[in-house]
Amino acid sequence: MTAAMIYFTGNAFDWAGLLLCASAGFVLCRQAGLFNIGIEGQIYAGGFCASAVMLALYNHVPAPLAFFCGVIVAAACGALLAALCGLFKKFTGANELITTFLLSASVIPLFDYLIGGPLRGTDGSLLAMQKLPPELVYMSILPPSNLNASFLAPPTITYFVHFFLYRTAAGYRLRLAGSAPAFARYGGIDPERFWVGSLAVSGACAGLAGFLMVAGTDGIAHQGFPAGLGWAAVAAGLIARNKPALLFPAAIFYAALKFTTGALLPGTGLSSSVFTLITGTALLLSTFNSWERR
């Protein structure tokens, strides 16, 4: 296998893992009858806050403890952003489709400013925070690609989401409340009780994806590091028909499409817009009939 093939293959699997983590939360939200399209901002919040906390703690506590605190903070920050939208929906009737998008769009410029301004690192020319120490970064698996040990976490997260939805009574009630709220109320299940929790878990998955990006893929929190991962997670969830088990082939399909076109682009002489059109068409066709709530 050539170095170029290793590079593109490793990057594809790395990106598929990140996509799997973020889209697992989106799918759980859809099963509850909700639509979280603020995943991009939640990824940014998780990665940024985790990086800031780990850098602040690194010289004061053991590295494993700083790393663990980064994980918790990433999940908590993503969950907080999404849960706020659940509270808005529950107490004001605001549509979560709008509030998740607007809140995400509001925090992204704030993080851009902090990373490029007050918290910008002095160890490089990038608009980025200080690079994470090696003790706080996942071990590389397939150099020179970005694939690293964090690739093992997203399948586990997705499995737990699947187990909760299809193997627990609470998951059954959530799916029933999302797919048939009137029938759920007739059976004594209040769909509103799942709004805040479902959005919080969705945001936590997105925040963890942000953590995996800064502590695994990039090793640093730079401006715009989510790079469209949140929107890709929405597409992958729709491709998977909102079912966690189908996220595995959906994420691999999406990653293969993304990196295959990227690998082929230099040798064709075609504009990148052609490959964007091809990718968009393939995703559009694959998401037909995927808007059901189940």
pLDDT in tens, 86-103: 999 999 999 999 999 999
Domain boundaries, the chain: 3-231
Single out the residue of 168, 153, 130, 263 nearest to residue 207, CA to CA.
Answer: 153
pLDDT at 258: 79
Q: What is the pTM of this model?
A: 0.92
Whole-angstrom distance, CA of residue 57 vs CA of residue 39 = 27
Residue 128's pLDDT band (cuts 50, 70, 90)? very high
On the question of a cis peptide bond just before residue 144, with omega within 30 degrees of 0, the verdict is: yes
Percent over 70 (pLDDT), the chain: 89
In the prediction, which pLDDT does 253 show? 86
Higher pLDDT, 286 or 58: 58
Condensed to tens digits (0 to 9), the pLDDT of residues 189-222 reads 999 999 999 999 999 999 999 999 999 999 999 9
Residues 6+ apart with CB under 8 A from 177: 32, 33, 184, 189, 190, 191, 193, 194
Residue 126: pLDDT over 90: no
> Is residue 197 packed enough to be buried (19+ CB in 10 Å), middle (13-18) or exposed (0-12)?
middle
267, pLDDT greater than 80: no
